[in-house]
């Protein structure tokens, strides 16, 4: 049985269906006055709520209008920048093709895709990426000559030498979820060191205290781990390699990460200077230094191409 009570000058008590009411005139009047006060207060509250709702609605409309205005401005600016970039890249496309023997008449006869394929086959990356590269160079150096830049890229792409791989080893590391090269090391003679030795800067017999402190093992931020192939097993504190003990989904993720790395390596090898015998430099040390300079330059080219027009595939 439910039981409740309300107190005033008189009392109302209920217990089940039995009710007892002390209904003196004063108690009735008191309850009526309270009802009126509650009704007035409720009315005032409702008016206040309506006023606040109206104010909130007005503020929302103003905010929405401001957002729309900003969106229109941003879209307009982006469209202008895109048009300007497209115009610059189209001009660069035409200049580059003329530089390698495709005059305007041949460019007009060819389709857009064929012109872009011809450009990439001669300069290695997309004209949009070269425009971004030229802007970055002009911001740091005085008046970079675009034709000289194109000639340098063409030199990297069509390096005239025997079809013999240069026999040098580099170490590259990519950010897994960003189109960014985060590490490069080398060169060393190919096969002179195991991948794991190259990574940690020394052999197990030498002892960790004697390893090269400039190696990637020591340069990785605390708490960060890399993914490598089976040749990098044995350094669980820094590297993760695929294992049958891992769940299937995780093994597939590792495989995609490794495929992403191979895609980047293939973009580097698209430039003939990294796949043919290197014939520059007057001594072994000079040759290694010049080859490293060329490799770093090509990494920059591929980085600009990834950031501006041809990103790597996503691993997730």
pLDDT for 7? 41
In a domain, 49, yes or no: no
Of the candidates 103, 132, 153, which is a domain's last residue? 153
CA-based nearest residue to 265, from 234, 287, 298: 298
Are 183 and 288 within one domain? yes
pTM of the model: 0.68
What Rg do the C-alpha atoms of the chain give, in angstroms?
A: 36
Tell me how far apart the alpha carbons of residues 22 and 152 are, in angstroms, rounded to a whole number.
105
Of the candidates 108, 123, 153, which is a domain's last residue? 153
pLDDT for 162? 57
In a domain, 204, yes or no: yes
Q: Are 298 and 274 in contact (CB under 8 A)?
A: yes
Q: Are 231 and 196 in contact (CB under 8 A)?
A: yes
**Helix, coil or strand: residue 247:** coil
Q: Are 181 and 174 in contact (CB under 8 A)?
A: yes
User: Each residue's pLDDT tens digit in the chain (316 positions)?
Assistant: 334 333 444 444 444 444 444 556 677 778 778 888 888 888 888 888 888 888 887 888 788 777 767 665 654 554 444 444 444 888 999 999 999 999 999 999 998 999 999 999 999 999 999 999 999 998 888 778 888 999 999 999 988 765 555 588 999 999 999 999 999 999 998 888 998 999 999 998 999 899 999 999 999 988 889 999 888 877 888 999 999 999 999 999 999 999 999 999 999 999 999 988 888 888 989 999 999 999 999 999 999 999 999 999 998 7
pLDDT for 73? 60
- Which residue segment(s) compose the domain that 106 sits in? 92-153
Are 145 and 204 within one domain? no
Are 237 and 123 within one domain? no
């Amino acid at each position: 049985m439910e039981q409740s009570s309300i107190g005033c000058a008189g009392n109302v008590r209920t217990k089940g269906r039995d009710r007892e009411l002390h209904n003196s005139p004063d108690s009735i009047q008191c309850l009526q006055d309270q009802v009126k006060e509650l009704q007035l207060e409720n009315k005032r509250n409702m008016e206040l709520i309506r006023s606040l709702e109206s104010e909130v609605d007005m503020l929302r409309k103003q905010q929405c209008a401001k957002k729309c205005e900003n969106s229109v401005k941003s879209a307009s600016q982006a469209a202008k920048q895109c048009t300007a970039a497209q115009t610059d890249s189209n001009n660069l496309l035409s200049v580059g093709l003329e530089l390698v023997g495709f005059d305007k008449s041949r460019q007009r006869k060819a389709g857009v895709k064929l012109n872009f394929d011809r450009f990439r086959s001669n300069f290695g990356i997309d004209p949009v990426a070269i425009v971004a590269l030229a802007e970055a160079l002009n911001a740091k150096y005085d008046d970079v000559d675009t034709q000289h830049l194109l000639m340098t890229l063409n030199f990297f792409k069509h390096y005239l030498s025997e079809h013999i791989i240069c026999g040098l080893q580099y170490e590259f590391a990519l950010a897994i979820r960003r189109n960014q090269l985060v590490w490069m090391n080398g060169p060393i003679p190919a096969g002179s060191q195991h991948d794991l030795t190259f990574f940690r800067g020394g052999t197990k017999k030498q002892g960790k205290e004697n390893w090269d402190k400039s190696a990637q093992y020591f340069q990785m931020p605390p708490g960060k781990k890399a993914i490598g192939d089976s040749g990098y097993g044995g350094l669980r504190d820094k590297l993760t390699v695929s294992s049958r003990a891992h769940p299937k989904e995780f093994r597939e993720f590792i495989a995609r990460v490794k495929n992403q790395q191979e895609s980047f390596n293939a973009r580097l090898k698209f430039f003939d200077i990294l796949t043919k015998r290197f014939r520059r430099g007057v001594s072994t040390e000079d040759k290694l230094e010049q080859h490293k300079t060329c490799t770093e330059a090509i990494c920059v080219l591929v980085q600009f191409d990834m950031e501006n027009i041809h990103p790597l595939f996503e691993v997730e």
